[in-house]
Structures are given as structure tokens and as C-alpha cells.
Amino acid sequence: MILLEVLTIPVDDPVAFTFFTGYMAMMAASVFFFFERSRVTGKWKLSLLISGLITFIAAVHYYYMRDYYLSTGDNPTALRYIDWTLTVPLMCVEFYLLTKAAGAKKSLLVKLIIASVWMLVFGYIGEAFNPEGGSTSHSVIYGVLSTLGYIYILYTAWIGEVAQLSKKSDNPLIQKSVRILAWFVLVGWAVYPIGYMCMPGGWLNIAFGWEPSSVDLFYNIADAINKIGFGLVVYNLAASDTERLAESTQ
């Protein structure tokens, strides 16, 4: 007799649930961005391609993370950080492309990418090398180091170069979109450190007894909001600008 092992989703497991929904939502968003790309004006096609790549890369990782979580019950930390190491720099590319017409230089992109890699490398050390049973000092030290990279990106989006360039832009649609993306970085991205603090030794784990599996619950919800949301803001900008250009040439 052949025994087939079937992976089932426990109905009372919100983490597994969000892994499945997250996977499907990322996949659907990618199809949407790839198809809509053909409808927007030339200068926004690359931005829409990047939006689609962000959700597509995430979808592939969710496919694997979902299985990993269901078969082991553990946090798929390595897959999670591989995903982020690819997708967060691509989100920096979106900021660069939006402000390019107003004079953004390659150096802005390089600085943003260095800050995101800094943030993710220290976050990874904090999670993956957390000693057995959890160490608060380990979690805090690497959490704080990682946060420095996050603050740099936040600063750039709200006060620094990206904000300045957006102010100089003569396109109000770009100004509005950069502002919304900056809100995503401030509010949406702030969910990740909350998840991080649920791991053994983390402050929320100690203070409220939040389970280590909640790390993934927070990450999954944040990923869906940030990756799809970011893409939709860029899509909305591209579609509105295409319409505006069509009207002005009539």
C-alpha cells in the first residue's frame, strides 16, 4: 500500500492560514501588475515591472515557507530573509524611479540599498543565531543595530533626499505617491520589529507570552500590506499619469 502524506491546514492555526492567503494574494497581485504594465505610458513601465517582481519573488518564497512551516512548525527564517534581501532593495528602486525625473542620482539608490542590507543582515543574525531558549541581550543588540538601517530609510523617505526631490518634482501625482510610500515605511514597516520581538527572549515574548509562531503572523500580514500596497500606489500613479498625458495631448 502506498501512503500519501497530505499536508493539511489546521483550522485553528492563523499562521498557516496567512501563509496560504499570503501566497495566493502575492501571486494574484503579480499577474495584475504584469498585465497592467502594457496599459501605462512608457516611462512607468519599469516601475510596474518592479512592482510585479516584488510580489512574484514573495509568492515563490511563500510557496516554500508555507510547506516548511506546515511540515516543521518552525519559523522559516532563512527563506524569509532571502525573500526580503531581494524585495526590500527592489522597493528602494521604486523610490529611486519615482524621484528620478526630479534629479535622483544613482548614489541615492546605493545608499538606500546599503541601509536595507544593513537592516536585514543584523535582523537575520538576531533571529537565526538566537541561542537555544532565547537570549534577550542578543535579541536587543541585533534588533537595535538593525533599527539603525530602518531609521536611515525612514529619514530619507520623510526628511532626506527622497522627500527633498519629491518636493522639487513638478508632478503633484509623484509628490502624493512618495508621501504615501513614506507612510508605508513608517507604519507598515513598523510591524516587522513587533514580530521580531515575539521570538524567544524577545520583549513581547517575555512581557505578554506571545508565541514564537506569532513572528510569522506579523511578518505575513505586514508583507501583504507592504508589498501589494506599495505596488498599488505605484500602479495608481502610473495609471493616473497615463490618463493625464492622454488628456493633455488631445
Contact residues toward ligand RET (CB under 6 A) are 84, 87-88, 91, 119-120, 123, 126, 143, 146-147, 150, 189, 192-193, 196, 223, 226-227
Q: How far is the CB of 28 from ligand RET (least distance, A)?
A: 16
Mapping DSSP to helix (H, G, I), strand (E, B) and coil, where does residue 44 land? helix
Q: How far is the CB of 219 from ligand RET (least distance, A)?
A: 8
Q: With beta carbons less than 8 A apart as the criterion, state whether 147 and 127 touch.
A: no
Q: How far is the CB of 88 from ligand RET (least distance, A)?
A: 5
Q: How far is the CB of 145 from ligand RET (least distance, A)?
A: 8
Q: How far is the CB of 143 from ligand RET (least distance, A)?
A: 4
Residue 142 or 169 with smaller CB distance to ligand RET = 142
Residue 68 or 196 with smaller CB distance to ligand RET = 196
How many beta carbons lie within 10 A of that of residue 209, not counting itself? 8
Q: Among all residues, whose Cβ is closest to ligand RET? A: 123
Burial of 74 (0-12, 13-18, 19+ CB in 10 A): exposed
DSSP state of 142: H
Residue 99 or 226 with smaller CB distance to ligand RET = 226
Residue 32 or 122 with smaller CB distance to ligand RET = 122
Cα separation values, 70 from 10, 17, 25, 203, 210, Å: 9, 10, 19, 26, 20
Residue 120 or 165 with smaller CB distance to ligand RET = 120
Quote the distance between the C-alpha of residue 140 and its chain's center. 22
Cα separation values, 210 from 13, 32, 51, 190, 197, Å: 15, 36, 33, 17, 9
